Each structure stands twice: as C-alpha cells, then as structure tokens.
Amino acid sequence: MSEPASISSGIAMRYATAVFELAKESNSLDALETDVDALDGALTESTDLRSLITSPVYSRDQVTTAITAVAKKMKLSQNMTGALGLMASKRRLFALPQVITSLRELIAEEKGEVTAEVTSANALTKSQEAELAKTLKARVGKEIKLKLTVDESLIGGLVIKVGSQMIDSSIRAQLAALKNSMKEVG
C-alpha cells in the first residue's frame, strides 16, 4: 500500500470508529447503517457530491456548509451529520468513501455478518437471493449480507467474493479456461 493510501485508510478508520462508537452508545446502529447506505448511494450517483469531497477549489466554510445541507436534505442522523461537518472543517472529506467501507465492516462485525459481493450476468430474483444467502451461510457459518451487481459480460453464472475467497462460476471464466486448455494441447 502506498504511503498516501495508508494515511487515508488510517484517517478513515479513526472517523469510522468514532462514529460507530457514538452510534453504539446511543443504540442507533440501525440508523447508522441506513445513513451509510444512503451516503454510499449518493456518492455513487452524484458527480457533484464526489467533486465536493475531493476538490481543493472550495473553501472549508463552503464545503462545511454544503455537506451539512446535503446531510440535512438526506435526513441523516445527528451523529453522521456532525461527523461530516467535522470532516469538512478538517479537510478530511476525501476519506469519506473509505469511512463508509470501514463503517460497513464495523457494523457487519457487530451483527456477526459477512458481506458477499455477488456479480451476476442478470439480476437475481428474490428467491435466488434467498437461496444463495442460505447456501453461503451454510458454507461460511455466519449471516450473509449480499452486495449484488450485474455484469452482462459474464454471459451467465456468478462471481462470488466472500472475504478472501472467490468463486467464479461464470461462463466467461469457463470459456477462458477452455481456451487456455486448447492452447496447451495444440
């Protein structure tokens, strides 16, 4: 890991831990989880928000005012709104994506959950999601929270990442393996 990346992850972990502990003390972990999902979605969808948290063009006051207004509009909890304001005033909003990731990990650990990143060629039905979660729970031994994405280039099948394990049953991977084995033969 490069030095700037390790500094960013250190900053992110400190903020995430502080916000998590405040939420835990006030018995508002569910509200924190809702806030994290909302912020993650907003960062994914809004180029303006991504620009706000990374651009050096805006002054501290402008960024603090803007992020507080965004938090109010999104109806984020008082803990999260305060943390965002503090991060803005200290010019640390650039670490927000990493803070969100760290918060997800802390919440999952508290709940005894593991997040499985599932990429499929087509969107999964609710029954397929339930069956997959049940199967993964039996294999891993913990509650499973699915993070679903669709990648049509897989052609069919799934790519599942749980912790450091990866299962690739996609047709794209099978075709690549077949291509490699044919090269070895001929």
CA distance 141 to 182: 38
- Say which CATH architecture domain 3-109 belongs to: Orthogonal Bundle (1.10)
Please say if the pLDDT value at position 1 is more than 70.
no
The pLDDT of 16-44, averaged and rounded, is 95
User: Could you tell me which CATH class the domain 112-185 is placed in?
Assistant: alpha beta
Which pair of structure tokens corresponds to residue 48? 């303006």
The pLDDT of 104-115, averaged and rounded, is 91
Taking only the tens place, the pLDDT of each residue in 31-59 is 999 999 999 999 999 999 999 999 999 99
pTM for the full model?
0.73
Beta-carbon contacts of 79 under 8 Å, excluding residues fewer than 6 positions away, are 19, 22, 23, 26, 28, 31, 32
Residue ranges of domains in the chain: 3-109, 112-185
Among candidates 149, 171, 176, which has minimal Cα distance to 161? Answer: 149
Taking only the tens place, the pLDDT of each residue in 47-103 is 999 999 999 999 999 999 999 999 999 999 999 999 999 999 999 999 999 999 999
- The pLDDT assigned to 4 comes to 62
Please say if the pLDDT value at position 26 is more than 80.
yes
State the pLDDT confidence band at 9, using cuts at 50, 70 and 90. confident
Within 13 Å of residue 157, how many CA atoms lie on the same side as its CB? 14
Taking only the tens place, the pLDDT of each residue in 147-158 is 899 999 999 989
State the pLDDT confidence band at 185, using cuts at 50, 70 and 90. confident
